[in-house]
Structure 1
Amino acid sequence: MKLENTEIQDTVLDLQPLTYIMERNGFVLAGQWDYERVTYDYKVNSPEKNITYYIRVQGHAIEGDVDSGKAVIKILTPLLGIHHYPHGVEYGEEQGFPQNIIDKAERILNNVDDQLKQFQAETN
């Protein structure tokens, strides 16, 4: 499901400080190789058996290329997904995400957004 109640989407930032801030907040940069896109995932454990939730933040390069480590990234609308073992991660609205998981995801993303804005203010 799209997490549209945050302000992180459309943020534009250089790849290196973006990755630093995301990793400092528990996100992992996905290891896929790509010139134009980045994906950060945050694992949210659940007391439900064989269920794990993920917050996914994706971005695309508007300047440079990701592979070089020198790119300017625009963040897309974050997603909340649910991993049903052994089937994989689903991001659809029909998954029926618990409100406490949605609230937690929004808090995490708002905290990241605050740090991104603070970094931008300090560098301007």
Structure 2
Amino acid sequence: MKFENLGYEDIKADLKRLDDVMDDYGLVRAEQWDYERVSYDRKFELKEGVFYLRVLGYAVEGDVGANKAVIQLLTPLLGKHYYPHGVEYGEGENFPKTLVSQCEKILTEVKSVVDSFQTNK
């Protein structure tokens, strides 16, 4: 499921500050990066299954490995994990309404904080 129309595609922000804000909302980069891309994930374990809220981005300046980069964010995703195959983000998936609402709230709050320091507004 894509969370479109939240304005994430317009966000360019400093990697270190972005890491701090995302971490405050439980979205962790951990080892999910390479020199040009990042992925922030938050895991939700519910009776309906295991779900992941994911925010992806890529470096438009600098180097992620050096922790000195400006990151362009992409449309956030919500996916359901299926063992052993991985996470499915397809439109055919059913997501609990309470989870979707919780994710929208998190994404709205994150965007509000990031908007205060993003580059190239």
What TM-score do the two structures reach when normalised by structure 2? 0.89
Q: Given residue 39 of structure 1, which amino acid in structure 2 is its aligned partner?
A: S
2:69 corresponds in structure 1 to 71
User: Structure 1: which amino acid aligns with 2:61?
Assistant: E
- Distance in 1 separating the partners of 2:69 and 2:115: 18
Q: Give aligned-pair identity as a percent.
A: 50
Q: What residue is the counterpart of 1:41 in the other structure?
A: 41
Tell me if the contact between 2:13 and 2:117 (Cα under 8 Å) persists in the aligned partners: no
Q: Which runs of 5+ in 2 are unaligned?
A: none
Matches within 5 A, 1:20-99: 20-48=20-48, 51-99=49-97
**Range with bigger deviation, 105-114 or 81-90:** 81-90
Q: Distance in 1 between matches of 2:32 and 2:54?
A: 14
Report the count of equivalent residues.
120
The structure carrying a bigger helix percent of its residues is: 1
- Give unmatched runs, 5+ long, in structure 1: none
Q: Is the 8 A contact 2:59 2:69 kept in 1?
A: yes
TM-score, normalized by length of structure 1? 0.87
Structure 2 vs 1, CA of residues 45 and 89 (structure 1 numbering), >3 Å: closer, same or farther?
same
CA RMSD of aligned residues (A): 1.9
SS in 2 for 1:62: strand
SS in 2 for 1:35: coil
Question: Which residue of structure 1 aligns with residue 105 of structure 2?
Answer: 107
